Structure 1
């Protein structure tokens, strides 16, 4: 079984702010939003993202977000 990584290790080398990544991944997992809905929501907050970027974040960070964030 692999050791859990800290948030700093998990997000090392990322160009985007980790709060934005966590927000997108949590919203995608919690509220059945499409990737394009999230792109539009982030655009309203003046952040330009591609839906494929959010998809890569979900694939990479969803297991870590599920384990480290308490359920709502």
Structure 2
């Protein structure tokens, strides 16, 4: 959680919040949002020229494809090396059910 004022450090008068507070600790780190924003910067740059999507279904499928390609490119898929293009193409084809 970042240090935004919308996340107060204490909530007054909530019994369940007091019980929850005994077992958890609120950690406020401003840099955590930056990690997420840096990861999605490429996707934002790809979506913006498309001028939006006509339906939620189209948006979901397109962004899922962008996310998968970014994961493969960054080497986050353990079974596929980042520089093995034929293996990446086969993996994407099996994920989306298309012929490679």
Query: Which is higher, the Rg of structure 1 or of structure 2?
Result: 2
TM-score by length of 2: 0.31
Return the structure number with greater relative CO, CA threshold 8 A, min gap 6. Answer: 1
TM-score (norm 1): 0.40
